[in-house]
Amino acid sequence: MMHWIIKIYNKLRRFSKRCFVMYYRQMSKHRISWSLIKLVDCFGSLQLASAALTYHTLFALVPVMALMTAIAKGLGYDEIFLEMVRNFLQGQEAISDGLIQYTDSYLNNTKVTMWLGVGIGIGLLLYSVFSIFRTIDATFNMLWNEKPRSFQKQLKTFAFVLVLPFAVILAIALWWSLSSIFNDSIIKELNVLIVSVSTYILLLFAAYKLIPNTTVKAKYAAFSAIACGVIFALMQYFSYYIISSFNYRSIYGDLASLMIFVLLIYFSWTICLAGSKWNFFLQNADKQEHENDYKGINNHYHKFLCMLIIERIESLHPFSSHFDAETIAANAEKEYALPAHLTNHIIEHLRDKRVLFSGKEETLYLSKRYCGRTVRQMLADLDNAGRNSDVISTLSEIHSNENLAALWQQIQDNSDGTLLDTPVRELLGNKKRNNV
C-alpha cells in the first residue's frame, strides 16, 4: 500500500513540476508577474550590492554634501539646502547636525588646502565624488549584464553629472518658495509630499535611463521609477514614524542614530537597485523566452548557429578584418531573425574556443586558420577548437586511471574500442574495487 502511495505522489509531483515549468516559460507574456518573480529570485544579490554601495556612500557622503553646499552657497540658497537636509533626516537631529558640521569643516579645510597645495583640496573632493559615481556605474551595469563604461567615457559623463547639482539646488529653491505661499499646514504637508515624490521619481528615472551602458526603453524606466519613488517616499515616512515612536537610544545608546541612518542608506540603495533590476526584467521579458529555448538546444543545432554567425562574419568582414560584435548581431537578426543577445552568446562561445580573438578598441577578428574554410572543414574545426589536454592530464593525475586517457583517445580518433562499450558508471569501477 505504501508503495502505491509513494508512486502516486511522485507522479503528481512530476506533473505539477512540468505544469509550472510550462507556465514559467510562457511567463514573458505576463510581463509584470514574470519580472516580479525574477526580481524576488535575485533579491539576495541585490542586498549584497546594496551593502557595498552603503559602504562607499558613507565615505563619500561628506564630500558630496560639501560639493552641494558649495554650489548652494554660490547661488545664495545655502540656508534652504541645509533646511532641506534637516527635513529629510527628521527625527535624526544628531546625524543631520553632525553632517552639516563635518561639511563646514571639510569646506574650510579645502579652502586652506587650496591656497597651500594649489587646488589639492578641490581635487580630493572631486575624486571622492567621482569614486562613488564609478561604483554606481559599475553596479548598475552589473545588474544589466553590461560592461562598465571606459574610464574616458566615465569622465565625460561625470562632467555632465557635475551640472546636475546646480539644477537640483535651483529646483529646491523654487519648491521652497512655492511651499512658503501656503500657510495651511495640511496643504503645505501635501505640497511637500507631492514635490518629494516627484523629485524621487525624476531622479530614479534619470538613473534608470542614463546610467546603464545600453539602450533603455523610457516606458519601462518610467514604470520602475514611479513604483520605486512611491516606495521610497513611504519608507521615509514610516522610518520617521518608527524613529519618533520608539526610543532606540535606551537600547543602543549613542549608536542608535548612526545605526538607523546606515539602515536608511542601505534600504534606499536596495529600493534603487531593485528598480533598476526590475527595469531590466521588464525590458528583456521577450528575450528571456528565446534564451530558455536557446539553452535547451542540442550540440548539432548549436554548431549550426555557430556556422550562421561565422558566415555573417566572413561575408561582411573577410580576410580576418576587425569587426564589431554589435554590427554582426544586428545583421544576423536582419538576415536570420536570430536575437541579438543569442548572437552575443555564440560570439562569446567562439572567443572561448579561440575561433575569435579580441582586437583593439573592443573589436574582434576571426582567426586566420579558420578563414576560407568549407562547411565540412569548419564543422570539424569546431569539434576540435579549444583546449582539452590540460584537463585530461589533470584527470589522469587525480584518478591515476589509465582508462580515462585511453577513452579520450578513442573518442578523439572516432575509432572503435572496448572502452566505448563500457557502461559509463563502470569507467572508474575497477579503481574503486581496488581501493576497497
Count CB atoms within 10 A of the CB of residue 138. Answer: 15
DSSP letters along 396-429, please? Answer: HHHH--HHHHHHHHHHHHT---GGGGS-GGGTTH
Element (H, E) at 61: helix 43-75
Of 55, 68, 31, 82, residue with least CA distance to 139: 55
Of 178, 273, 271, 194, residue with least CA distance to 231: 271
Check: CB of residue 61 under 8 Å from CB of residue 157: no
Return all residues near 62 (Cβ < 8 A) that are at least 6 apart: 99, 102, 103, 106
Check: CB of residue 320 under 8 Å from CB of residue 371: yes
* pLDDT tens-digit map of 61-91: 887 788 778 777 777 777 777 777 777 676 6
**Coil/strand/helix, residue 36:** helix
Residue linked to cell 519613488:
229
Check: CB of residue 24 under 8 Å from CB of residue 36: no
| pLDDT mean over 137-151 | 85
Domain ranges of the chain: 45-283, 290-384, 389-435
Q: What is the pTM of this model?
A: 0.64
* Amino acid type, 286: D
Q: Which three cell numbers stand for residue 410?
A: 578513442
Mean pLDDT, all residues of the chain = 75
Distance CA 223, CA 228 (A): 9
* Amino acid type, 281: F
* pLDDT tens-digit map of 22-70: 544 444 457 788 788 888 888 888 888 898 888 888 888 887 788 778 7
**CATH fold for domain 290-384:** Arc Repressor Mutant, subunit A (1.10.10)
Length of the chain: 436
Higher confidence at residue 247 or residue 267? 267
Farthest-apart Cα atoms in the chain, separation: 94
Q: Which three cell numbers stand for residue 248?
A: 532606540
